[in-house]
Amino acid sequence: MKRAVLLAVVLALSCGVSFAGGPTTTATGGAVTLTAIIPSYIGFTSPNIQSITFDYTIDGLALAMGLPVTKLAGTNPSWTLLYNLSGKPTITVCAYATALTGSGTNSIPASSVYGAPNGGATLQFNGSGCGQTGNAIVMDTINGATFNTGKTEAFTGFFLQTPNGAVVPPDTYTGTLNIIAQAQ
């Protein structure tokens, strides 16, 4: 039994086990490199609403006379902008509309769409921004952007006005409203 205990002590000491303040032996393996790749990101959440209907069914006479008739959106569209960018770029947020098209050649131009972005003045969708020409408005400009976990981009007013002097043929017209953000 004494031999077994002595052998255990010798083995323990040779493996670096310390007994009451004795020497400690430490071994380390090679270092492992850790890498984290965090890309720049800019994007939007889904809009708060999926569609807007401008119902002109009670305005037949005015439309037949070619008068401009305005219909307000029941709910104003909004999105949440999220970004994590390096270099403090300027972010430009734009909205653009397509023409509302019916069957055949019937259409209502994008310039008939109006919106008041982020509580500002009402603007006609006939300008340029974010690579769009003739159907866009600039909603917001954010200078020195780095990161944001939720900035609301919204219209506080949104409406469609039929073109003045044009008789819009009876039809169901559809188009799209898009939002885009560019960091430069």
Measured distance CA(139)–CA(92) in Å, rounded: 8
Distances (CA, A) of 4 to 13, 17, 20, 49, 90: 14, 17, 21, 80, 76
pLDDT for the residue numbered 7: 42
Distance (Å, rounded) from C-alpha 5 to C-alpha 1? 6
Q: Which residues contact 141 (CB under 8 A, 6 or more apart)?
A: 90, 91, 92, 93
User: pLDDT tens digits for 154-171?
Assistant: 999 999 998 888 888 899
Q: Give pLDDT tens digits for 91-135.
A: 999 999 999 999 988 999 999 999 999 999 999 999 999 999 999
Q: In angstroms, how far is the first alpha carbon of the chain from the final one?
A: 80
Q: Which residues pair with 140 in a beta bridge?
A: 93
How much of the chain exceeds pLDDT 90, in percent? 67
Domain ranges of the chain: 41-183
Confidence tier at 20 by pLDDT (50, 70, 90)? low
pLDDT in tens, 44-103: 999 999 999 998 888 888 888 888 889 999 999 999 999 999 999 999 999 999 999 999
CATH of 41-183, one of 2.60.40, 1.10.1760, 1.20.1740, 1.20.58: 2.60.40
